[in-house]
Structure formats: structure tokens, C-alpha cells
């Protein structure tokens, strides 16, 4: 099938590349001409594991094309995936202006009927607005559009793996024909007919993904409800961690036992600095906003958000307790990205931590395997190091903010020899207190005695 992808952020690129790998012909476009130039030149503008390989293969097989001309991309595909950003406005509501702009482009440029699919994370009832917008912007006697919602559940860092091995594919549609078109698009994924870069073509057998056909309104709600529930789970684990500290219990023991109950599940119960990234914080806000707008008070989500914001304060309490005075101390931030295996620093806890450290007059040093370039633009006053051991030389304290493998594997005996003071505050509960203490470190983490 010929598909168009509008928006070449991580969702658009992964969607386009993986659907091309599944045998479709994909035409991608973006308003950012520089990004399209890079993609046309064979460069991958974001760090996402396996994406470069999938794109390379699709390009070689002439299954994926990039153009800065939206009209060209719109006319090429029978089905159009809208993958543009929906950033938060100041009041927390999602900014849908990019979707509106794209709807206008599609309505004016299309020369044949199109199925238009919302893939961007959008608040419920956007589909209804999209149908109206396409009709309003169409010239008299214009082509026919159908609309569907196909939320993505891709995690940054493992987005390619997630796309190829979904646990569910949700399609919100208004009619049976649209459901069958989406079924055709995803058939190669459901039947595993693609080259998998993660398992070198030999994916382990697993339960088949559920292909769920719902209404458009339900599909939109499923996305927000899922992300918000996961955020809620993390905040719940973080409150348990605080409680553990007060009563001398161990949050790892507690959450491990909780997670063994299949009704609870073991995922997303890791306590620490809380959630960041461009999805959970903004989706939570947008969901709270949407609920309020339709007269439902989603108090529980407001609490989850509050708990998450307080993680940084709790971390600073630990820093103050251990260091007493922060001013003029060399403090090393290990990890800038909001989570490992991505260069994305949007809403990363590390940013807020750096901001506060600088405010208090610390000499801030930082390291990250992928995100230094992006952080430099925000915090030019920070001293960046590629090598964590270099960063730690002469440090008064190390703060673990992102649990990259490289940081999990730090040889603290070696690092400790060059630090001014052996102090580690672990924001991701990665290291073992006993082992750190045996190496002569002052060590603190979340919720562990
Ligand atoms: C999240 C969802 O997991 C995806 O299913 C969804 O498609 C995506 O948002 C989206 O809406 O596009 P992502 O933001 O990439 O994916 O990252 P996650 O792996 O979910 O982690 C989010 C944050 O929660 C990270 O800062 C992570 O460090 C934190 N986290 C995660 C915890 O603090 N504790 C945990 O137990 C798990």
C-alpha cells in the first residue's frame, strides 16, 4: 500500500521506517526542511536504537522517500498518518495547531480519496474535530476523506522493537472498510512478515498481538488512559518509597512482591526521580485538562503529578543532608536524558536538578552517552564530559539521574580514587548500599534502608 507520513519526529520516523520494512511504500514529509535534507542524505536526525538500520534497508529497497513538499507526499499516499507534535500549552492543554495546519494541507492538496489517521497523541474528541476541519478546508466538490485513530504505544529507546512486537494494535474507526484497510496495513506486522533488526530476523515466539477495533473516541481515550495509568503507577511506587524510608522498609522488596501479583504487574513500579520525557508529563496534564473540560474531576491524576514534581525536592533534601553546603562544590550529574537509550532531554528530571544546582552556586559537571549536545544548548554554564571517570575527577558528589548501562557499570573503586569526596546519591536505585559502603562511599537512594 502507498502510505504518507506527515511529521518526522521519533513516532513518524519509526512508523514510516517500520511500515516500509513491512513492505509498504512510504512517503514522509516534515515542515523542518533541514531534517528532510538530513534524511535524504541518509542521516538519521534522532538517536533511536535500530532505526538507522531499518531506514537504510528501506531506502535500499526503495520503499521509503523523503520530501519537503507536503503536497507531493500527500498526493502520493492512499493513507496518511499524521505524526506531528502536540506540545503542551501553558495551561497544560494540548496544542493542536499543527494538526489543524496539516488538516488544511491535506484538504487542499489531496486529489484522490484519503484515509487520514491520527497517530499523534491527541485528546479525546480530536477525531471529531479532524473530520470537521477536513470538510471545512476542502474546496467545493473536493475529495472524500475518512478518519481513524491509531494510537502508538512506542517507548523512546525501544520504539523499533515495540513497533515490530506490539502487544496490541488499536484502531479507532467509523466504518468497516477503514478497519479492513488498517488490518491490511498491519497484517505483515501481525504475521511477522518483515526483517526484524532486533532479533536479526528470528523473533522469539510470543503471544500474537491483539488487533483491537474500537470507535475513534475510545481509541483516543485508550492512549491517554494507558499513559496516565503508568504515570500513576510510578507515582504510587514513589510514595511507597517515601513511606519505606520513614518506617525502615525496602521499596525494592515491597514492589517486587506487589508486582508478582498478576493483577498488579511488575512493570513501572521502579521508584526514584520519577517520570520525565515528552509523553507522561504532558499527557497527564492534557488528560487532567480534558477531564475538567467535560466535568470530570480526575483528582487522582493531579496527585500523581504532584508526587512526581516533589521527587526533585526529595532528591535535594538528600543532597543537602549529605553535602550541607552546595555552593562551590563540584557536583557531577550522571545522565541528562529523561531515560536511558535516548538522546531526548525533554522534561528530564536532570534538567531541573541542574537548574537548581546552578542556582545554589555549584560547579556543575555532567555526562551522558547521547544527550550532551542537546543539554549544552540549554545549560552552557555546565562543564560536559564524554567520559564519566573524567567527569568524576575531583568531584564532591555524584548524582545518578539516568540509569544508562555505562553508569550502572561504573567501577566505583576506580572512580572513588580520583573523587574529592566519596559521595553518591542514586536517583534511580541502581547501586547497592552495602557494596558502595564497603568501598567507603557515603550513599543514599530512594526508599531503601
Ligand atoms: C511512554 C509509554 O511507555 C509508551 O507506551 C508511549 O507510547 C509513550 O510514552 C508515548 O506516549 O509516546 P516513554 O515516554 O518513551 O514511553 O518512556 P517510558 O519508558 O514509559 O518512561 C517514562 C518515564 O518514566 C521515564 O522518565 C522513566 O525513567 C520513568 N519510569 C519508568 C520510572 O520512573 N519508573 C518506572 O518504573 C518506569
pLDDT digits (tens, 9 = 90+) for 65-82: 999 999 999 999 999 999
Q: What is the pLDDT of residue 355?
A: 98
User: Among this protein's residues, is 279 annotated catalytic?
Assistant: yes
Distance between CA atoms of 258 and 249, rounded to whole angstroms?
Answer: 14
Dihedral sign of CA atoms 14, 15, 18, 23 in order:
negative
Kind plus residue range of the DSSP H or E element containing 400: strand 397-400
Q: Are 93 and 130 spatial neighbours (Cβ–Cβ below 8 Å)? A: no
* Cβ atoms of residues 398 and 444 within 8 Å: no
Catalytic residue among 18, 279, 383, 401: 279
Distance from residue 339's CA to the centre of ligand 1 (Å): 8
Measured distance CA(170)–CA(269) in Å, rounded: 25
Q: Which residues of 36-73 are buried (b: 16+ CB within 10 A; e: fewer)?
A: beebeeeebbbbbbbbbbbbebbbeeebbbbbbebeeb
Between CA 15 and CA 329 the distance in angstroms is 45
Q: What is the pLDDT of residue 120?
A: 87
Give 329 Cα–ligand 1 centroid separation in angstroms.
32
User: Which of the listed residues 49, 87, 168, 227 should we mutate to test ligand 1's pocket, taking the one with most ligand atoms within 8 A of CB?
Assistant: 227
Smallest CA separation from ligand 1 atom 30, residue? 275
Helical ranges in 41-118 per DSSP H:
51-60, 70-76, 97-109
Question: In which residue ranges of the chain is pLDDT below 70?
Answer: none
Q: What is the pLDDT of residues 196-255, one digit of tens each?
A: 999 987 888 888 899 999 999 999 999 999 999 999 999 999 999 999 999 999 999 999
Pocket test of ligand 1: the residue of 47, 275, 286, 307 to mutate, having most ligand atoms within 8 Å of its CB, is: 275
Query: What residues flank ligand 1, with Cβ below 6 Å?
Result: 121, 152-156, 227, 230, 234, 268-270, 272, 274-277, 279-280, 283, 338-339
Look at residue 208 in the predicted model and tell me its pLDDT. Answer: 84
Q: How distant, in Å, are the alpha carbons of 127, 131, 151, 419 from that of 83?
A: 14, 17, 10, 46
Question: DSSP secondary structure string, 254-309?
Answer: HHHHHHTSTTT-STT---SS---SSSHHHHHHHHHHHHHHTT---HHHHHHHHHHH
Determine which helix (DSSP H) or strand (DSSP E) holds 383, and give its type and residue range: strand 383-385
Amino acid at each position: 500500500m502507498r502510505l504518507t507520513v506527515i511529521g518526522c519526529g521519533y513516532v513518524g520516523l519509526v512508523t514510516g521506517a517500520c511500515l516500509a520494512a513491512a513492505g509498504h511504500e512510504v512517503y514522509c514529509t516534515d515542515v523542518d526542511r533541514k531534517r528532510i535534507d538530513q534524511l535524504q542524505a541518509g542521516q538519521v536526525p534522532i538517536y533511536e536504537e535500530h532505526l538507522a538500520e531499518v531506514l537504510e534497508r528501506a531506502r535500499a529497497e526503495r520503499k521509503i522517500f523523503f520530501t519537503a513538499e507536503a503536497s507531493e507526499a500527500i498526493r502520493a499516499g492512499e493513507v496518511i498518518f499524521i505524526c506531528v507534535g502536540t506540545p503542551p500549552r501553558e495551561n497544560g492543554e494540548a496544542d493542536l495547531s499543527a494538526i489543524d495546519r496539516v488538516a488544511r494541507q491535506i484538504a487542499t492538496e489531496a486529489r484522490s480519496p484519503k484515509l487520514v489517521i491520527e497517530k499523534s497523541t491527541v485528546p479525546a474528541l480530536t477525531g471529531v474535530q479532524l473530520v470537521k476541519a477536513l470538510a471545512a478546508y476542502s474546496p467545493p466538490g473536493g475529495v472524500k476523506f475518512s478518519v481513524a485513530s491509531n494510537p502508538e504505544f512506542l517507548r523512546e529507546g525501544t520504539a523499533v522493537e515495540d513497533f515490530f512486537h506490539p502487544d496490541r494494535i488499536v484502531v479507532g474507526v467509523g466504518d468497516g472498510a477503514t478497519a479492513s484497510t488498517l488490518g491490511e496495513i498491519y497484517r505483515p506486522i501481525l504475521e511477522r512478515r518483515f526483517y526484524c533488526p532486533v532479533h536479526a530476523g528470528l523473533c522469539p515466539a510470543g503471544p500474537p498481538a491483539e488487533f483491537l477495533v474500537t470507535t475513534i473516541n475510545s481509541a483516543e481515550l485508550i492512549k491517554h488512559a494507558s499513559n496516565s495509568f503508568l504515570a500513576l503507577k510510578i507515582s504510587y511506587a514513589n510514595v511507597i518509597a517515601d513511606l519505606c524510608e520513614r518506617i525502615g522498609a525496602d521499596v525494592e522488596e515491597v514492589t517486587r512482591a506487589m508486582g508478582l501479583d498478576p493483577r498488579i504487574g511488575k512493570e513501572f513500579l521502579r521508584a526514584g526521580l520519577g517520570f520525565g520525557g515528552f509523553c507522561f508529563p504532558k499527557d497527564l496534564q492534557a488528560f487532567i485538562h480534558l477531564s475538567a473540560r467535560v466535568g470530570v474531576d480526575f483528582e487522582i491524576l493531579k496527585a500523581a503529578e504532584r508526587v512526581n514534581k516533589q521527587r526533585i525536592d526529595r532528591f535535594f533534601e538528600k543532597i543537602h543532608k549529605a553535602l550541607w553546603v552546595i555552593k562551590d562544590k563540584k557536583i557531577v550529574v550522571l545522565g541528562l536524558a529523561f531515560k536511558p537509550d535516548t538522546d531526548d532531554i525533554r522534561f528530564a528530571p536532570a534538567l531541573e536538578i541542574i537548574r537548581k544546582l546552578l542556582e545554589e552556586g555549584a560547579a556543575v559537571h555532567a555526562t551522558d552517552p547521547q544527550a550532551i549536545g542537546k543539554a549544552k544548548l540549554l545549560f552552557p554554564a555546565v562543564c560536559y564530559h564524554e567520559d564519566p571517570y573524567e567527569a568524576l575527577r575531583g568531584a564532591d558528589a555524584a548524582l545518578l539521574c539516568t540509569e544508562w548501562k555505562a553508569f550502572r557499570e561504573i567501577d566505583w573503586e576506580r572512580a572513588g580514587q580520583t573523587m574529592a569526596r566519596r559521595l553518591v546519591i542514586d536517583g534511580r536505585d541502581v547501586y547497592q548500599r552495602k557494596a558502595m559502603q564497603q568501598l567507603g562511599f557515603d550513599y543514599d537512594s530512594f526508599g531503601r534502608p
